[in-house]
Amino acid sequence: MLNRSSSGLFKQHASILEVLQRVFDVTVIMLTMVLAGWIRQVELDAKYAVLSLLAILIFILLAAVKGVYRSWRTENLATEIAGVIGVWVVTVIALGVLGFASKTSSEFSRVVMVSWAVLVPLGLALLRFFYRKFLHALRGAGRNFRTVAFAGCGNTAQKMSQHINGQSWMGLRVLGVFDDRPASRLSPVSLRLAGNLQALLDQAKAGQIDIVYVTLPMHAERRIVALIDQLADTTVSVFVVPDIFVFDLFHAQWLTIGGMPVVSVFDSPFYGINGGVKRLEDIVIGTLILLLTSPLLLAIALGIKLTSPGPVLFKQRRYGLKGEIIDVWKFRSMSVCDDGDKVVQAQKYDVRVTRFGAFLRRTSLDELPQFINVLQGHMSIVGPRPHAVAHNEEYRGLIHGYMLRHKVKPGITGWAQVNGWRGETDTLDKMKRRVDYDLAYVRNWSLWLDIKIILLTVVRGFVGKNVY
């Protein structure tokens, strides 16, 4: 039996917790102003108090608009902190505009203002961190949870249930799945079959269920509409989960075209401002690395010339953004320069690899010329590794979603590489694992993920047991 009284107690006081969050945020904004003045040894007069009150007013209004004080139960801490810091940044910008327009900005100490602007987000982030810890402790004690039920047995309910059970910080408990269909028509899932849809309605009306996820198949439109209509006679929160989300969607999100909702299925994360951030990252880091490694580049070029006949650089056709063919540059590490319809991957003890080339390949130093590709705009520092055209044509017919790697520019290093999937892919399963990591990178891209991959590359990404 679930402890309904404990859950109900905290549901009754949920609004009080939200009010307390606002009070704590206001306190953080006020106290950090005092702290900034104390650190900088500036005596704060009435105008600083007025500024703090104005900041609080703007912040609380913007926070309400952005839904900062809504339930963050199903979202992680980083997302919540990013949201509240974003509101504070807009607040600071608004204060700056008001100060400029009223010509009062010069009346305030700049060092105090900068310190305050930095201290507030730190305080807000710490506040939410400890608030989450408090809620986790409550949920660990069997309190502050919500009971979840699924209407419709299938892969959608199965995947959502696995996600919920794996994220205990959400404070959600899965009661089971309800479905009217006979067992012979139901998908085999590990979820507990708790009854039919009438049993779901009865338990919802009795207050035994907090959240219902409607996971019936999309073609069951009439049943979905009828169920939602009946659930309107209860107090449960109802969410419809289209079963298209069972598939591996790229940045799946709801958009509108002429007021009509559409679902983005396959898309790139690098449109708009994200594309600009990604390009700036490539230019700045790429230029810096080329400048720092220029003596090494010359030494490698000399080493290639002295140890084997042939060109220093090796150019190979590969697929780039949108599947367009690009020329990727590498230091030559083999006695051949294959770039035809059939390209054999380097293998252990491959006789085509020169002695100096083996060293370059093991340490990934043969990839350094690709920073030129990055500055040209054909590649990115971080992204799915580009494969030879012949390999692309082979694997696109064998691995579902393979070409979705090319929704972004190929990279010198990537999420697959720092997780050990470098070098030879002598089995189809190995290539599938590499592609899985590539697609996960595209789905979950952020600037911080790029920085993490670059740092991991420096620490452990230059060598690999499967690199020949």
Report the phi/psi class of residue 383: left, alpha or beta, with left for phi > 0 and alpha for psi in -120 to 50. Answer: left
Question: What is the per-residue pLDDT across 213-252, written as a single tens digit (0 to 9) for each?
Answer: 988 887 888 888 888 888 888 878 888 887 665 555 555 5
* In contact, 122 and 81? CB cutoff 8 Å: no
- What pLDDT does 255 receive? 62
Comparing CA positions, the residue from 121, 175, 177, 128 lying closest to residue 150 is: 177
b/e for 370-384, b at 16 or more Cβ within 10 A?
bbbbbeeebbbbbbb
Give me the pLDDT at residue 250, please.
53
pLDDT at 13 over 50: no
Q: Report which of residues 45 and 271 the model is more confident about.
A: 45
pTM comes to 0.53
Express as a percent the part of the chain with pLDDT over 90.
15
Pairwise pLDDT comparison (15 vs 152), residue with the higher score: 152
Mean pLDDT computed over 201-207: 87
Question: Residue 69 in contact with residue 63, Cβ under 8 Å?
Answer: yes
Examine the pLDDT at 346 and tell me if it is beyond 50: yes
Instruction: Tell me the sheet residues that pair with 257.
Output: 260
pLDDT top residue among 441 and 362: 441
Tens digit of each residue's pLDDT (9 = 90 or more) over 87-119:
898 899 888 888 888 888 788 888 889 999 999
The per-residue pLDDT for range 357-410, each reduced to its tens digit, is: 788 887 888 889 999 999 999 999 999 998 878 778 888 888 888 888 888 899
Q: Please, what is the average pLDDT of the chain?
A: 80
Residue 14 has pLDDT above 50, yes or no: no
Write the DSSP symbol of residue 353: B
- The tens digit of pLDDT for each residue in 50-82 reads 999 999 999 988 887 777 776 655 566 777 888
Check residue 286 and give its pLDDT: 92
